[in-house]
Amino acid sequence: MTSRTYDAVLLDIEGTTTPISFVRDVLFPYVKHNIRGFLETGWEDPEVQKHVHAIAKQANDDVRAGISSAVEINIDGPHADSAEEVRQKVLLNIEWQMKSDRKIGALKALQGCIWRAGYESGQLQGVMFPDAVEAIRRWTAAGLKVFIYSSGSIEAQKLIFGFSDHGNMLQYISGHFDTTTGPKIASSSYTAIADKIGVAPERILFVSDIILEIRAAEKAGMQTMLSVRPGNAPVDAGSFQTCSDFTTIPLSLPKASRTDPECSVEE
């Protein structure tokens, strides 16, 4: 029997466990349609205010950094904007950030908070690729631990998996990481994750649709697999191992080329 080459799996979400179309065509429009009501109804709610302050801070940092689409939002002090002005600026800011698919903490945290009501009311249901669901079940049954690392906030991750179209998948997930641990394209983030979960980077398999993330994880010493899914941006996989059906990922991953037709190594 071949012994396995990894003990933990670290999964990206969008383009990996979940179609990009679900995020772009369902989740983002949900925020677009509900953000005004969220801000108006909950304006006095400390949680809503926490998100508004975070968005304002990000907007003001962006203005200082010279980002041309950014507009200053003055919340505190003698020259503060009125509540309606702040709401209007936040709405425009969120629209701009979502159009450019910015992976910024303040935006992602606000989105997660808005999605919560959608999932809890049954208006939203997380979409997962069936083979990803099956692979996650098999990995955990084999004694491996499965973790998530996504630009989506930890709250948003728990919602997608907790209210998935395959039932509550959270029971299979041993931990969640978002960009509060660090950017997904920085190798130090993967080192930090390995450290936090107590598994050597060399014994972790990271799966993502983004080559820059794969490179960063490899630099940290992780094994990697590039996720190839319908709707993902076309990539030149080069020498990276690729996979379009996660149930075909073996527990023992050779460095050399593989014969599995769904998963390939082109070296």
Ligand X SMILES: CSCCC(=O)C(=O)COP(=O)(O)O
- The residues of the shown chain that bind ligand X, judged by CB under 6 A, are 12-15, 23, 27, 103, 108, 150-152, 156-157, 160, 184
* Rounded distance between C-alpha atoms, residue 74 and residue 86, angstroms: 7
Please name the residues in contact with 94: beta carbons below 8 A apart, sequence gap of 6 or more: 31, 35, 55, 107, 110
If the CB atoms of residues 93 and 157 are measured against Mg ion, the closer one turns out to be: 157
Q: How far is the CB of 246 from Mg ion (least distance, A)?
A: 14
- Name which of Mg ion, ligand X, none residue 156 binds, using a CB cut-off of 5 to 8 Å depending on partner kind: ligand X
Bin 238: left if φ > 0, else alpha if -120 < ψ < 50, else beta.
left
Q: Which residue is nearest to ligand X (CB)?
A: 152
CA proximity to 192, closest of 149, 226, 151: 149
- Name which of Mg ion, ligand X, none residue 164 binds, using a CB cut-off of 5 to 8 Å depending on partner kind: none
DSSP state, residue 164: B
Q: How far is the CB of 88 from Mg ion (least distance, A)?
A: 32
Please name the residues in contact with 261: beta carbons below 8 A apart, sequence gap of 6 or more: none
**Which residues are annotated binding-site positions for Mg(2+)?**
12, 14, 209
- Name which of Mg ion, ligand X, none residue 160 binds, using a CB cut-off of 5 to 8 Å depending on partner kind: ligand X
Q: Which residue is nearest to Mg ion (CB)?
A: 15
If the CB atoms of residues 15 and 201 are measured against Mg ion, the closer one turns out to be: 15
Q: How far is the CB of 127 from ligand X (least distance, A)?
A: 11
Instruction: Find where tokens 């960063």 sit.
Output: 216
If the CB atoms of residues 73 and 107 are measured against ligand X, the closer one turns out to be: 107
Sign of torsion over alpha carbons 222, 198, 182, 173:
positive
| Token pair for 81 | 């904007």
If the CB atoms of residues 14 and 62 are measured against Mg ion, the closer one turns out to be: 14
Q: How far is the CB of 155 from ligand X (least distance, A)?
A: 9
> Residue 229 in contact with residue 209, Cβ under 8 Å?
yes
The angle subtended at Cα 81 by Cα 80 and Cα 87, nearest 5°, is 135
By the criterion CB under 5 A, which residues form the site for Mg ion?
A: 12, 14-15, 209
Q: How far is the CB of 110 from ligand X (least distance, A)?
A: 11
If the CB atoms of residues 92 and 127 are measured against ligand X, the closer one turns out to be: 127
Q: How far is the CB of 208 from ligand X (least distance, A)?
A: 7
**Which residues are annotated binding-site positions?**
12, 14, 150-151, 184, 209
* Rounded distance between C-alpha atoms, residue 48 and residue 41, angstroms: 10
If the CB atoms of residues 5 and 244 are measured against ligand X, the closer one turns out to be: 244
**Which residues are annotated binding-site positions for substrate?**
150-151, 184
- Name which of Mg ion, ligand X, none residue 103 binds, using a CB cut-off of 5 to 8 Å depending on partner kind: ligand X
Sign of torsion over alpha carbons 151, 100, 235, 23:
positive
